[in-house]
Structure 1
Amino acid sequence: MTAARLLRTTVLVALPVLAAAHAAPVVSTFGPLRNRTMPRLAGRGRADHVALTFDDGPDPLSTPFFLRALAERKVTATFFLLGRQARRSPGLVREIADAGHEIGIHGWHHRPLLLRGPRATYDDFARARDTVGDLAGRPPALFRPPYGVMSTAAHLAARRLGLTPVLWTSWGEDWTARATPESVHRTVTGDLHGGGTILLHDSDCTSAPGAWRSALGALPRILDTCEDRGLSVGPLREHGWYGGEAPLI
Structure 2
Amino acid sequence: MKLSADGPVPVLTRIPTSQKVVFITLDDGQEKDPRFIEMMRDLRIPITMFLTDDAIKGDYGYFRHLQGLGNHIQNHTLHHHVMSTLPPAPQKEEVCGDQKTLTTEYGAAPLLFRPPYGVYDTGTKAAVAECGPRAIVLWRESMQIHNMQYQTPDKKLRPGDIILAHFRGPAELKGTTMTQMFAHLLKRIQEQGFTVARLEDYIEAPAG
TM range (shorter): 0.7 to 0.9
Partner of 1:54: 26
- Evaluate the alpha carbon distance shift between residue 93 and residue 214 of structure 1 in structure 2; reply closer, same or farther with a 3 A threshold: closer
How big is the alpha-carbon RMSD for the aligned residues of Structure 1 and Structure 2? Answer: 2.5
Give the SS at the match of 2:57: helix
Q: Does 1:89 align with 2:59?
A: yes
Q: Which amino acid in the other structure matches residue 195 of structure 1?
A: G
Q: Which amino acid in the other structure matches residue 236 of structure 1?
A: L
Alpha-carbon displacement from aligned partner over 1:112-163 (angstroms, at most 9, x marks no partner): 1111111100011111111111111111111100010011111001011221
- Evaluate the alpha carbon distance shift between residue 145 and residue 40 of structure 1 in structure 2; reply closer, same or farther with a 3 A threshold: closer
What's the TM-score once normalised by structure 2's chain length?
Answer: 0.80
The equivalent position to 1:198 in structure 2, one of 163, 172, 175, is 163
Give the SS at the match of 1:198: strand
Partner of 2:173: 211
CA contact under 8 A between 1:170 and 1:191: conserved in structure 2? no
The structure carrying a bigger strand percent of its residues is 2
Distance (Å, rounded) in 2 between the aligned partners of 1:125 and 1:40:
16
Partner of 2:3: none
Alpha-carbon displacement from aligned partner over 1:163-183 (angstroms, at most 9, x marks no partner): 1210001112x3xxxxx42xx
- Evaluate the alpha carbon distance shift between residue 72 and residue 57 of structure 1 in structure 2; reply closer, same or farther with a 3 A threshold: same
Based on CA coordinates, which of the two structures has the bigger radius of gyration? Answer: 1
Distance (Å, rounded) in 2 between the aligned partners of 1:156 and 1:126:
11
Q: Does 1:231 align with 2:201?
A: no
Q: Does 1:150 align with 2:97?
A: no
Partner of 2:4: none
- Evaluate the alpha carbon distance shift between residue 125 and residue 71 of structure 1 in structure 2; reply closer, same or farther with a 3 A threshold: same
- Displacement of 1:42 in angstroms is 1.1
Alpha-carbon displacement from aligned partner over 1:190-236 (angstroms, at most 9, x marks no partner): 342221011001136xxx93328366423223323433544220331
Partner of 2:111: 141
Please list every run of 5 or more consecutive structure 2 residues that lacks an aligned counterpart in the other structure: 1-9
What's the TM-score once normalised by structure 1's chain length?
Answer: 0.68
Distance (Å, rounded) in 2 between the aligned partners of 1:86 and 1:220:
23
CA contact under 8 A between 2:157 and 2:192: conserved in structure 1? no
Partner of 1:44: 15
Please list every run of 5 or more consecutive structure 1 residues that lacks an aligned counterpart in the other structure: 1-38, 175-179, 245-249
The equivalent position to 2:91 in structure 1, one of 121, 130, 134, is 121
CA contact under 8 A between 2:21 and 2:196: conserved in structure 1? yes
Distance (Å, rounded) in 1 between the aligned partners of 2:204 and 2:50:
16
CA contact under 8 A between 1:58 and 1:92: conserved in structure 2? no
The structure carrying a bigger helix percent of its residues is 1
CA contact under 8 A between 1:93 and 1:135: conserved in structure 2? no
Greater relative contact order (Cα 8 A, min sep 6): structure 1 or 2? 2
